[in-house]
Amino acid sequence: MKKHNTTEQFTLFMTDTEPEVLKENTTSDPVELVSFRELVPEIKDTGYLTHAIFAYPAKFIPQIVRYAINTYTKEGDWIVDPFAGSGTVGVEAYLCKRNAVLLDLNLLLNHIMPLKIYSGKDRLNEADLCKLLEGMQESRHQFTPAWSNVAYWYAPEMLEVLSRYWGFINNTDGGVYATVIKSALLKVSKRFSYTEDRTPKLAKSKRKLKVIEELLKENWREQLDEMLYSLSLKTLKSLNDFVMHTQQHQNEVAPEIHWQGGVDSSYATVPRECDALITSPPYLQAQEYIRSTKMDLFWLGHTEEEIRELSRLEIPYRKADRMIQTETLDKVREMLTRNDLHKRLDSYFCHTVNALENSMKQLKRNAAACIFVGNPRIDGITVELWRILAEYFTERGFVFEKVYEDRIKTRKLFGARKNKNPDGMKSEFLLILRKNF
């Protein structure tokens, strides 16, 4: 296979005054500064339609996905996403009449997608939803998660009410209405627990302990029910909006969206050739998505053993089975002094590249691989993920097409953490590669 000289395309240099930060050579830099929100003005809200139904860390904003779909695919094409997360690529593919294969280690994907891509043809009835919610108030069923530590995370009286509500919804044949209520119950179950609900990571905080303590002095049951009703009705509206928005699909062959959660994307079978890859790999310093969502997974009926086995496959806890080497990545390694960070870096690039390669094998000739990443820091050292991936894949026959830089304006990544990057990443990048073989 032909080797490509990446040095000219992706030149880096280091200054004497900032020895811990790799800097870009702006005179030869291929980066194009854009705003995907401006390039896709038809999407005015990142949570529009069904995108905001489920909470999920580090979501892929739909404007980026829509831009990639519009630019690099046509109607009827197949898209693969090996890091499907909350299913943003699947939703946008469906809306744009593309087909998609979604893979993710997190089992939550299997619960998210049936609601986010609602296939019903008729609008849902608010009265039917409210009738089910009213029946839940009188429930005597009980469901307690198969979680040995569940009592640690809840006040006993709150756990008893939540267990009855989940028991009712698990024992009713409520169809899509029951699924709507489940999605609301996930948020309510986190809000009325001891875990800090302002951050995705499962952790008690002094602030949250005080919040629950104060709630217990008030009419907390009424507040819980109000939140459950409000969220359920909001989700119902989102589904009805989705039905109206996709009415044009009803007289056509609907796009096929296949999803599989609980699989290792490095080895999972992509069942067909695809016309594009659109994905956003996990962040280098924040890959614990299963640990962040395990409270949801327990309430949804998964066992400790299931969650433990999948958690072991998350990048920080998984050894590298090969060494990924590129010019830029090797320079980062030279600058790192801590052995544990070397291991984390090696694990991240090994398993991220494994998953990308596994899916990219199924791309057709001339298909685009659209990979959205940030440039995080590890121990104060900037790691240019897009550049490392570009170097790696161009050495293996892919053609570098372009890279877009999108400045982060409305959110911070890792902003609440005490680390060497307290302000979070300033930009994220969409790398475009072409499969030229």
Domains and CATH numbers, the chain: 12-109+255-435 (3.40.50.150), 126-245 (no CATH)
What whole-number distance in Å separates Cα of residue 220 and Cα of residue 218?
5
pLDDT, position 287? 67
Element (H, E) at 377: strand 377-378
| CB neighbour list of residue 187: distance below 8 Å, 6 or more residues apart | 55, 227, 231
The reported pLDDT for the residue numbered 3 is: 39
Pairing of strands 427-435, 12-13: unpaired
Per-residue pLDDT, 316 = 72
Q: What is the DSSP letter of 281?
A: P
For position 2, what pLDDT does the model report?
A: 38
CB atoms within 10 A of CB 84: 27
What's the confidence (pLDDT) of residue 248? 76
pLDDT tens-place string over residues 275-301: 999 999 998 866 688 989 999 999 999
From the CB of residue 137, how many other CB atoms can be counted at a distance below 10 Å?
Answer: 11
Which residues touch 322 (CB under 8 Å, ≥6 apart)?
A: 350
Distance in angstroms (rounded) separating the CA atoms of residues 183 and 198: 18
Q: Does the pLDDT value for residue 417 go beyond 90?
A: no
DSSP state of 301: T
Between β-strands 78-81 and 274-279, what pairing exists: parallel, antiparallel or unpaired?
Answer: parallel
Nearest CA to 368 among 69, 85, 62, 8? 69
* pLDDT at residue 263 is higher than 70: yes
DSSP one-letter string for 213-280: HHHHHTTHHHHHHHHHHHHHHHHHHHHHHHHHHTGGGTTSPPPPEEEEES--TTT----S-EEEEEE-
Alpha helix positions (H), 302-411: 304-311, 327-335, 339-360, 385-394
Predicted confidence band of residue 27 (pLDDT cuts 50, 70, 90): very low
Q: For residue range 49-106, what is the model confidence (pLDDT) as tens digits?
A: 999 999 898 888 999 999 999 999 999 999 999 999 999 999 999 999 999 999 999 9
Which pLDDT does position 424 carry in this prediction?
58
118 Cβ contact list (under 8 Å, min separation 6): 50, 176, 239, 242, 243
- Dihedral of CA 210/213/215/220: which sign? positive
- Give the count of beta carbons closer than 10 Å to the beta carbon of residue 158: 21
**Residue 403 near residue 390, CB atoms below 8 Å:** yes
User: How crowded is residue 253: how many other Cβ atoms within 10 Å of its Cβ?
Assistant: 8
Q: In the prediction, which pLDDT does 317 show?
A: 81
Look up tokens 């069923």; give the residue: 141
CA angle (56 as vertex; 332, 231 as ends), nearest 5: 160
Residue 238 to residue 319: CA distance in whole angstroms? 41
